[in-house]
Structure 1
Amino acid sequence: MRPRTNRDDYHTMSREQQVNLIRLRTGHNRLNDYMNRKFKLAPSPTCACGQEDQTAEHILQRRPLLDEERKEVWPSPTPLQTKLYGSRQELEKTTTFITSAGLIV
């Protein structure tokens, strides 16, 4: 097989950014929902905010404790699909948000 000559936006990102995105995309991450459901390592699937299970969608879209960081990165409402599968610029915003929020996914 010949090596890939053109790379999509995801494959041009750093390894750390790729890992964070794939973990958010697949749900195989270190958030409470997965750690409780799969490994029983978290006492509850609920987020620290207490409103719903701590999933990638909750963190990226609705977690009230991250409203300020979210508005800085995405001033206007942005769909989850765009945050996880959009252009390189959108993917970088997502990884920047995760880092600035101090989350380990």
Structure 2
Amino acid sequence: MENEFLSKEAEVIDALRTIYDPEIPVNIYDLGLIYELDINEDGKVRIVMTLTSPNCPVADSLPEEVHDTVADLPGITSVEVNLTFDPPWDRDMLSDEALLELGLL
């Protein structure tokens, strides 16, 4: 059961890595926009995410894209996406992969 859960989490993370912020050429997971990712054994997913700024031009569409992308995965029964700006996103949230991709490491 533990391996199945870890596999499902990896699938969700891989799916999130296909979604890119339109202003920064890095996927939203490595940008650090995903604050929480909870998956239960019934396939219910809860995601808490942020945007690079409250005035982000995709404030309406990006959470919807996250929802739809994850909801399309096999075994996922429901997806809840919550947007937060606490704490505000900053550059320190970038993964090492993102820093490398942006030439900052």
TM more than 0.5: no
Q: Greater strand percent: which structure?
A: 2
Instruction: Normalising by structure 1, report the TM-score.
Output: 0.32
Which protein has the larger Cα radius of gyration, Structure 1 or Structure 2? 1
TM-score by length of 2: 0.32
